[in-house]
Amino acid sequence: MPHERLFVGPRIDAIRSQAINGVSAAVARFTEGQLRGNSLDDLAQHIVDGIMGLPLELDTGNHSYEHQIVPLAELDVPAPNGAQSAIDVIRLSLHIPYTGTRNVFKTQPSCVLGTPNPEAALTDEEVIITIAAGPEEDGLAAEGRLLLLEQNLQQWVNAVNHDVATLKRELGPHARTLISKRLSVLRQRDNIVAALTIPLRRVDADRAVEIPIRRTTVALKSTTAAAAGQREWSLADPVYQQMIKTITAFTHALERRPTSALRLLPETETQTDEETLRDWLMFILGSNYEAPDGGELFIGGEVENGKGKTDILVRHEGRNAFIGECKFWHGPKKFNEAIEQLLGYTTWRDTKAALILFITNRNATAAIDSAGACLAAHSACKEVLNSPDPNERRDYRFSSPADEQRIISLALLPVVLPKMI
């Protein structure tokens, strides 16, 4: 593994103004649901940790050694004195576990240390210091050299941690002040609205959950199956995209109205109440879409399909148009089970699906990223599509479990709701 020189990036004082601007941008990105559903300190800590990273901590008590005989010509660290005529040399590596943010190793301390910058290989879990033993060097001497390098590394870690902590102490109050200002505007708006006795204007069309006078017609388009030369049917992509927008509009309304959203949530964190939210989604879809003849479109919940009962199934003339699954975020393991569950519901003819993910824990951004990583890493995932706003929607192309040649369009729609009470 190639070695690199550590702590040679920008100094803390050089990134200070950039970090302050980053706090302002991060506060502006919070949704109303995130602002109301989390404590002020947690929001500020989330921002500061995201900008500055977590402090480094070397677990020197659990370090371990590794040795290997390598040809001198292939040695990737400086050769020891007297080894010029050797054919093979002994390479010794000290593996030091660490916690913290890997990028902090790139930050340059503000103080001047009297020792050279450490050189090591980095992984997400270990720092690896490597030396080559000289021809006459014994084990104790080689170990002593490695331990001195470890001590030097610790000094640099302490120095950069001090600088990071100092800037964090400055950024934290700044973040809390900006968040408080946004919250005060929300409270002011709530007070104004509560005092008004005249009708309010309706919200803008792009923020409304429409119940239209004339609903969108859902018709399946005909395509020719390449293998059999037969006609196949699938939901037209524009209608699929419109359905996703309709669901997103409803979930945004939940985020903007946390008090109302709380009434749809379970009373304790040990319960789940996906059914209530699912029923509302079915109502919204049924109010927005109709069959080509103007009649009611079949939109069912807990409908048998594939290997189980899917939450939302839109069906026209006996053909599935859309499958949706509602889940609360309970960590990667449960989410991976939800992916398997959704794929298990699909049959050979199902090509349009969505996973609506309700998130009530405080670190919503991390939950969304983790869910996205689970989908991207799935063995059936063929492509991760670019998303203009990954916190609102992420799109994937999956192969059907019934036929790898069949592609399922799958949208991840995260919804950040207030903490359960």
267-310: per-residue pLDDT in tens? 544 445 567 777 787 777 777 766 666 666 666 665 544 455 66
Residue with tokens 């103080």: 111
- Which residues share a beta bridge with 398? 381, 408
Contact 267, 276 (CB under 8 A): no
DSSP letter, residue 307: T
**pLDDT tens-digit profile of 193-233?**
666 555 545 445 555 444 443 445 554 454 444 444 444 44
Is the pLDDT reported for residue 128 higher than 70? yes
Contact 63, 94 (CB under 8 A): yes
The Cα–Cα gap between 127 and 125 comes to: 7
Nearby residues of 62 by Cβ (< 8 Å), 6 or more positions away: 97
Tokens of 47: 């921002």
Is the pLDDT reported for residue 398 higher than 50? yes
Contact 176, 41 (CB under 8 A): yes
Q: Say what the pTM is.
A: 0.47
* Nearest to 256, CA basis, from 33, 2, 16, 30: 33
253-262 per-residue burial string, b: 16 or more CB within 10 A, e: under 16: bbbeebeebb
Q: pLDDT value at position 374?
A: 94
* Nearest to 316, CA basis, from 200, 209, 233, 388: 233
Contact 57, 208 (CB under 8 A): no
DSSP letter, residue 387: -
Q: pLDDT value at position 178?
A: 94
- Total residues found in the chain within this entry: 421
Is the pLDDT reported for residue 367 higher than 70? yes
Predicted confidence band of residue 241 (pLDDT cuts 50, 70, 90):
confident
Q: pLDDT value at position 302?
A: 56
Query: 137 or 208: whose pLDDT is higher?
Result: 137
